Structure 1
Amino acid sequence: MTDTHVTADQDYPLEPVPAQARKSLWSMGFVLLGFTFFTATMWAGGSIGTAFDFSTMLWILLIGNLLLGCYAAVLGYIAARSGLNTALMSRFAFGELGSKLSDVLLGFTQIGWYAWGTATMALLLVKMTGLPEGLTLPLMVLFGFGFCVSAFVGYRGLDLLSRFAVPAMIILVAVSLTIAASDAGGLSGLSSVIPSTEMSVAAAITLVFGTFVSGGTQATNWTRFARSGKSAVLATLAAFFLGNGLMTLVGAFGALVYQQADIVDILVAQGLATLGILMLFLNLWTTQDNTVYNFAVAGCNLLRTERRRTITLVGAAIGTLLAVLGMYAWLIPFLILLGTFIPPVGGVIMANYFVSWRGRYPEIGTARLPAFNLVGLTAYALGSLVAYASAWIAPLVGVLVAALSYVLIELAVAGVRERRAALLRSAG
């Protein structure tokens, strides 16, 4: 077995994706849509659906998902042009050792979602089928390792699963939305619903943008396989604007009509319990395999190893253990909080790519990079601090402040270097 074959088999975790391994727009679109079809996103939509009238709710979902789609699309463009994932881009933005900060942040967040999804599948299956509660923990172990099979295979496994699961989920969602609209009495019935809770518009947009922004930050793990920057942008927008938008809309519809945000509970209320179980399984599997894949890619960069499959199994084991220990019960608020600290990573990467590298990274293996890029780390700290203190759309504030801070600090540092160089020339 040659080294080239081993590298290709491991999905290029530490090097650019070569031209011969690039994928089509359709392939990436299916994988990314499978990733964004996520139960937790529906719950976010449900929270918004009970707090606003129908027209305001639609505007909030449109703005929040458009912001998320644009953020992920810019990172997707950089990934397609460079062939690199977020973990490798972080080496340029934060330094060889500094990039480990983003590896830990992104990796832990993803394995946290994996633990939550694994536990949710087991708990709801027992609840919906009437199985003995004693089977809950064995089911968590079964799903914890079963969900990682397609991720273990790699991009090809994610692609094959998504090509089947995504159309099936779209059909189920369409059927459910049609029934819900009918039960609500059509558009006039939806428009007459009175909000039962309160939430500010800024908080609502933050919820839409922030719940899945960690996934958008790591969508580069698939868009790096794109054949062109245009394909990456289109696939990312389809997933994070349209796909994520559809999930939040389903949750909002459920909250309006049935006072339920989750698609599974909605399908049960509509008399479609069997389809609800199928929907739950497909919904979680197509997200679970992507999250553990993300963990593996971040882990490969953290440990500087190409053993992606080994890291995938380790991630599944950690996620399963966390699920069994009950961490999922308090994990969601913590992960949403991390949504404040993850977006600045993307902001720094964008600014670093377009300002410092003029839209073209050098070869990852030959570039002489500092252990810590103080400009990038400082910009990240400022973005996170301002986002944490912001009463506005915290994830968006974090991206913008981090990117702007990077540009200003980089320009100031460059000016100092030029003055020093001029003084040395005059002294010589």
Structure 2
Amino acid sequence: MQTETKKVEQNTDIYESAFAPVPESQRKTLLSLTAVLAGYPIALSNFVIGGAAGVGLTFDKALLALFIGNGILIAIVIITGLMAYETGLSTAFLSRRAFGKNGSSIFSLLLAMSSVTWISLNGDIFSRLIKTTFPWWPISIPITAVIVILIWMQSAIRGYKGLEVVSFIGVPAALIMSLVGVIAAFNATNGFAGLTSYIPEKPMSFTAATASIVGGWVFGATITPDICRFAKSKRDVVIAGLVAFIVGCFGLQLAGALVALATGQGDFTLAMAELGLTGVAFVAAIFCLWTTQDNNIYGASLAIQNVLRETSAKGKVSHMQIAIAVAGVSAVFAALGIYKYILPIIQFLSVLIPPVPGLLTAEYYFVKNSKENITTNWLAMLAWVLGGTTGYISLKTNFFIPPVVGMVAAGVIYTVLSKLFDK
């Protein structure tokens, strides 16, 4: 049995190093790491987030919100990324150190659920964008959504190599399309004249803006260890994390804010249409969605492998098979118009996911007593629930930044409980 397990863990290509640390021979260059990391946050939702902040705040406050929000996200990426580099483990397998075997399986199922939710939602949204942009499009929205997700699947089933190919093409293309939009907005407003004097018609609070920036991408920041485990050095993790999220998150959000301010439209697609750039917006959407959703399929596959590790199915299902299954379920949900029903799911996950980076950080850097060999660490489970509850209260009372509150609370509670009761 031990020999069989060893063979499974050594067969890194079939299982995408799911059961063991990424070997030195498969670590990637800084350029590759940066491109793949950047591909994830280069997403259509970042235009929307930036656009909402742009039209809801004065320009200086919007800029400050973007700086603070992305600073928090980058900190999560680098801290968890360094853990992944040192251990060679994915997000799901890192969670074993805090939660134990069964506890990490619960977290992994939530990761997979969150990924499927976002894949299906974006598949549905993009199929509707196709139908709106090209009224002559002959295929129905549900079938189009299925086709779109199956296309995203093509790079995900090929593992890191597939993500790398799409990122090397999609990241520059998405950035160029975004720059075209910013230049058009610049020209349409005589160099953004009146930018600093802009007064929003429907103001949003600074807290709400910052919370949307962090909340919109805290899930993405949480699963970046899936990519950072391929780093060759700590330096590469720091540089790749900084560049990827400054360009992908902050850069696209700033572009969304500028275009929104120039047109008065918080919706990126409508704003680009007003600038006469519908085609540019559509091309940008293609690459933004592909480089993000293939990462979601990839991450969900790794999370499910973590669940299977404690069952008789360990080593019997390849990365490709699980990735196909994840894409298939997402395609079915998208075809059924899941976007109408998943808002409560998204809100639920937005409360439960943020505390986890706090728990992982507390265990790895402060408690330093890995629980990967025990069944369930109930101290971590309790800290997780309390951290999520604290974040939810923060959300309902509009206090500070709810994801950060939940993250810090979970980390502090876990550290204190561990110091008192962890034997």
- Report the TM-score, using the length of structure 2 for normalisation: 0.91
2:41 corresponds to which residue?
36
1:17 corresponds to which residue?
22
1:412 corresponds to which residue?
420
In the alignment, which of 352, 357, 361 is matched to residue 368 of structure 2? 357
Indicate if the aligned counterparts of 2:103 and 2:377 stay in contact, CA closer than 8 A.
Answer: yes
Given the alignment of the two structures, is residue 7 of structure 1 paired with residue 15 of structure 2, yes or no?
Answer: no
Secondary structure, counterpart of 2:201 in structure 1: coil
Is the alpha carbon distance of 1:127 and 1:374 closer, same or farther for their aligned partners in structure 2, counting shifts above 3 Å?
Answer: same
1:401 corresponds to which residue?
409
2:169 corresponds to which residue?
164
1:328 corresponds to which residue?
339
Deviation of the 1:340 alpha carbon: 2.2
The whole-number CA distance in structure 1 between the counterparts of 2:43 and 2:109 is 23
The whole-number CA distance in structure 1 between the counterparts of 2:243 and 2:268 is 20
In the alignment, which of 326, 338, 352 is matched to residue 341 of structure 1? 352
The whole-number CA distance in structure 2 between the counterparts of 1:96 and 1:148 is 29
Deviation of the 1:126 alpha carbon: 1.1
| Larger displacement relative to structure 2 (50-59 or 254-263) | 254-263
Deviation of the 1:263 alpha carbon: 4.0
Indicate if the aligned counterparts of 2:54 and 2:258 stay in contact, CA closer than 8 A.
Answer: yes
Deviation of the 1:157 alpha carbon: 0.6
Look up the equivalent residue of 2:419 and give its one-letter code: L
2:290 corresponds to which residue?
285
The whole-number CA distance in structure 1 between the counterparts of 2:92 and 2:129 is 34
Deviation of the 1:275 alpha carbon: 2.5
CA offsets per residue over residues 284-320 of structure 1, 9 Å max, x none? 1111101111111111111223421111011001111
1:312 corresponds to which residue?
323
The whole-number CA distance in structure 1 between the counterparts of 2:372 and 2:149 is 40
CA offsets per residue over residues 394-418 of structure 1, 9 Å max, x none? 100111111111111111125xx5x
Indicate if the aligned counterparts of 2:127 and 2:144 stay in contact, CA closer than 8 A.
Answer: yes
The whole-number CA distance in structure 1 between the counterparts of 2:279 and 2:390 is 46
Percent identity reads 30
1:422 corresponds to which residue?
none
Matches within 5 A, 1:248-287: 248-287=253-292
Deviation of the 1:375 alpha carbon: 1.8
Look up the equivalent residue of 1:405 and give its one-letter code: I
Secondary structure, counterpart of 2:101 in structure 1: coil
In the alignment, which of 117, 124, 128 is matched to residue 119 of structure 1? 124
Look up the equivalent residue of 2:214 and give its one-letter code: F
The whole-number CA distance in structure 2 between the counterparts of 1:337 and 1:31 is 28
In the alignment, which of 378, 386, 394 is matched to residue 382 of structure 1? 386
Larger radius of gyration: 1
Indicate if the aligned counterparts of 1:72 and 1:216 stay in contact, CA closer than 8 A.
Answer: yes
Deviation of the 1:267 alpha carbon: 3.3
Deviation of the 1:386 alpha carbon: 0.7
Look up the equivalent residue of 2:416 and give its one-letter code: L
Q: How many residues are aligned here?
A: 407
Secondary structure, counterpart of 1:186 in structure 2: coil
Is the alpha carbon distance of 1:241 and 1:52 closer, same or farther for their aligned partners in structure 2, counting shifts above 3 Å?
Answer: same
Look up the equivalent residue of 1:141 and give its one-letter code: V
Indicate if the aligned counterparts of 1:210 and 1:336 stay in contact, CA closer than 8 A.
Answer: no
Deviation of the 1:339 alpha carbon: 2.0
1:211 corresponds to which residue?
216
Look up the equivalent residue of 2:404 and give its one-letter code: L
Secondary structure, counterpart of 1:147 in structure 2: helix
CA offsets per residue over residues 77-131 of structure 1, 9 Å max, x none? 1101110111101111101111112111111111111001111221111110112
Gaps of 5+ in 1: 362-366, 418-428
Is the alpha carbon distance of 1:272 and 1:208 closer, same or farther for their aligned partners in structure 2, counting shifts above 3 Å?
Answer: same
The whole-number CA distance in structure 2 between the counterparts of 1:11 and 1:264 is 36
The whole-number CA distance in structure 1 between the counterparts of 2:231 and 2:344 is 34
Look up the equivalent residue of 1:371 and give its one-letter code: T
Indicate if the aligned counterparts of 1:31 and 1:159 stay in contact, CA closer than 8 A.
Answer: yes
| Larger displacement relative to structure 2 (323-332 or 380-389) | 323-332
Indicate if the aligned counterparts of 1:39 and 1:262 stay in contact, CA closer than 8 A.
Answer: no
Secondary structure, counterpart of 1:196 in structure 2: coil
- Report the TM-score, using the length of structure 1 for normalisation: 0.90
Is the alpha carbon distance of 1:399 and 1:185 closer, same or farther for their aligned partners in structure 2, counting shifts above 3 Å?
Answer: same
The whole-number CA distance in structure 1 between the counterparts of 2:246 and 2:349 is 21
Is the alpha carbon distance of 1:223 and 1:92 closer, same or farther for their aligned partners in structure 2, counting shifts above 3 Å?
Answer: same
The whole-number CA distance in structure 2 between the counterparts of 1:192 and 1:368 is 55
Indicate if the aligned counterparts of 2:185 and 2:192 stay in contact, CA closer than 8 A.
Answer: no
Look up the equivalent residue of 2:378 and give its one-letter code: L
In the alignment, which of 128, 149, 154 is matched to residue 149 of structure 1? 154
